[in-house]
Amino acid sequence: MAKLYFHYSTMNAGKSTLLLQAAHNYRERGMDTMLWTAAVDTRYGRGRIASRIGLEAQAHLFEAETDLFAAVAQRHADAPLSCVLVDEAQFLTRNQVWQLAAVADTLSVPVLCYGLRTDFQGELFEGSANLLGLADTLTEIKTVCDCGRKATMNLRVDAQGRAIRQGQQTEIGGNDRYVALCRRHFVEPLCFLRRRQLLKALFQRINNLHDILRQGIVAEIFYHRVGRFDFWKSTKR
C-alpha cells in the first residue's frame, strides 16, 4: 500500500538534498517520478529544486489553487508514476494535503513531502499542520544548533543579523535570513529584542516626561518674571 510521507525539519537541514537523492534513486532504477515545488519560492529560479551542495532538478509548480490530485492522475494515466515528491510542503493548503493523501490511497503512488514544521514565530504552517495530522509516516530531518543541541526552531534575522519578532509568516530566504537554533537559543535573542523594545519605550517616556517638566519649569520662570515685572511697573506709577 502506498503511503503519504512527511519529512520535516528546520531551515538548512538538507531537505531538498534528500528529496533530490530520492528522486535520483527512483530514476536510476528506471522508475518515473513527478516533482513539485511551491511557486512562491523563486530563490533558484522558477520551477527549480536546488540544494546547497549543487544538486538540482526541474519541478512542477503548485499554487494555492492547484489541484494536485488531478494533475498527478493525468500524468499517471499518460505514464505510470512510481513516486511523487513535493518540496516546500509547508506551503500546501489543507485541501492539497488531502489531495496528496488521495494520490497515495486511490492511485497507489507513494507521496514524499519535504518541508518546514514551524515558522519564525514557532507557529505551524498550514501545510505542515495538516501533514502532521494526516501523513502515514513522519520523519524528522535533524540538524544542530551552534551550541550542539538539536535545532528545532527557525530564527528570522535582518540584514544586520538581528532577530525579527514580527512580520508575515511567508518570507522567502536562505542563510541570510534564517538561522536554525535549539529552542533555548531561539528564545534568547527574542527576549533580548523584547527587553530592548521595552527599554526604548521606557526611555521615550522618560524623554517625554523630561520635555513636559522642562516646559513647565520654563512656563513657571516666565510667569514669575512677568509677574515681578508687572509688580515693578505698578509701584512706579
Tell me the residue ranges of DSSP E strands in 45-159.
48-50, 56-58, 60-62, 83-86, 111-116, 137-140, 153-156
Cα 70 to the center of its chain, rounded Å: 28
User: Is 37 a residue whose pLDDT tops 70?
Assistant: yes
Residue 109: all three cell numbers together: 503512488
d(CA 171, CA 155): 12
pLDDT for residue 171: 57
pTM score, two decimals?
A: 0.74
Q: Which of 56, 63, 88, 220 is catalytic?
A: 88
d(CA 22, CA 231): 96
Q: Give residue-wise pLDDT tens across range 108-144.
A: 999 999 999 988 788 899 999 999 999 999 999 988 8
- Give dist(CA 234, CA 231) in Å, integer: 5
Q: Give catalytic status of residue 88 as yes or no.
A: yes
Burial label for 213, CB within 10 Å (0-12, 13-18, 19+), is exposed
pLDDT in tens, 134-190: 999 999 998 888 788 888 888 887 766 666 676 555 555 555 567 888 888 787 755
Closest CA to 23 of 49, 54, 41: 49
Looking at 27-31, 57-61, 173-177, 197-201, which range is the least confident one? Answer: 197-201
**pLDDT band at residue 231 under the 50/70/90 scheme:** very low
